[in-house]
Amino acid sequence: MQYKLSALNDCKNKYLNLLEMFDRAGVPPELGWRSLLLFFREVKDYNTLSDTQKMAVQHLMANILAQKDYSDKQLEFALSEHHDIVITPYKKQVEALIQEAAGAVEGFQRMLSARYGEINNLEEESIAIITDSEDTASSILKLRKAFQRVKTLIEDDIRNLENIAFIDGTTKITNRRGFDQFMKTAIKKWLDEERPLFLAMLDIDHFKLFNDNHGHRIGDQVLTVVGSHMEKALRVFDENDEVLAARYGGEEFAMVVSGPNASRLPLITKKCCEMIEKFNFLIRDANGNVVESGLHITLSAGISSVNKQWRGAHFENIVDNADRALYHAKKSGRNAFFEFRHDEKDPFVRVTEE
């Protein structure tokens, strides 16, 4: 009982101190502003938000207190900003899924179109067999073979539906949907088995220039080169590790390793990017003739791992931290590779051979 009273007094004193701080900051006594700022103050305990989102909310609160503008218009603005902070990651995921769904529908339509042609051919072939043959047994045999051929093609289509759903149409590596599914399983294994998990986010430097200067066809070839090199780089891991190379969206890619050797990913990522940079990228015309050579592709990368201190939002946190390291690499001049380390004073550590 004494412990409960002490805890209640601590909680009471905490909020009294907060209210005094609001008084000093000139926060009006109306319920709206004080409730909102109290909510912002406690957002650190919400395990549904990532660390990046929590920091964004705290930064918003600090700006409000610094500006001392407590008008209704500013309250509306603060609520709108908070909404954007919370919803933006999900909005990006929805946009990526819509793009993938559009690609899947296009692939499915191509498949249906091809099979429609096969069925038309089957109809014509069946009529010809029945019309031209006088031998009933021979006709049945030919009809069986014709139907079996189409049946085999349809069975192949069913197996290919998984590729349409989880494979990026341009690079032929895993798409965003497949990445999300892999990460969900990998995070569960980390929680259940403490299986190490590392994520690298990679972004092609100045990719827009490839598209602007050479067209989207060449841009797609750049994406394909990056995807194939990533898959090759991950082959150094053995059967004890589960690995994934994925196109995250646009010119951004991801490499994931779940397993005992996952901590090797930062160095493997660096080596992969260096191999891509050495690749002599050729531009050919429609006839296959080389019209430009000596082009080189560089990437920036950010790497992160899971952290036991997280109380939730594990997927969002590891992606956010890898993105933060990637952004730091971009700010550092691009063609750079940084790992986000949670317990370092400066969390952005440049990846080196050492």
Q: Is the pLDDT of residue 243 over 60?
A: yes
Between 1 and 222, name the one with better pLDDT: 222
Q: Is the pLDDT of residue 259 over 90?
A: yes
Q: Is the pLDDT of residue 274 over 90?
A: yes
Q: What is the residue-averaged pLDDT of the chain?
A: 80
Q: Is the pLDDT of residue 3 over 50?
A: no
| pTM of the shown model | 0.63
Give me the mean pLDDT over the 150-174 stretch. 73
Give me the pLDDT at residue 150, please.
64
Give me the pLDDT at residue 59, please.
79
Give me the pLDDT at residue 99, please.
63
Between 162 and 184, name the one with better pLDDT: 184
CATH superfamily of this structure's domain 176-350: Reverse transcriptase/Diguanylate cyclase domain (3.30.70.270)
Joined tokens for residue 64: 């409000």
The per-residue pLDDT for range 192-214, each reduced to its tens digit, is 999 999 999 999 999 988 888 88
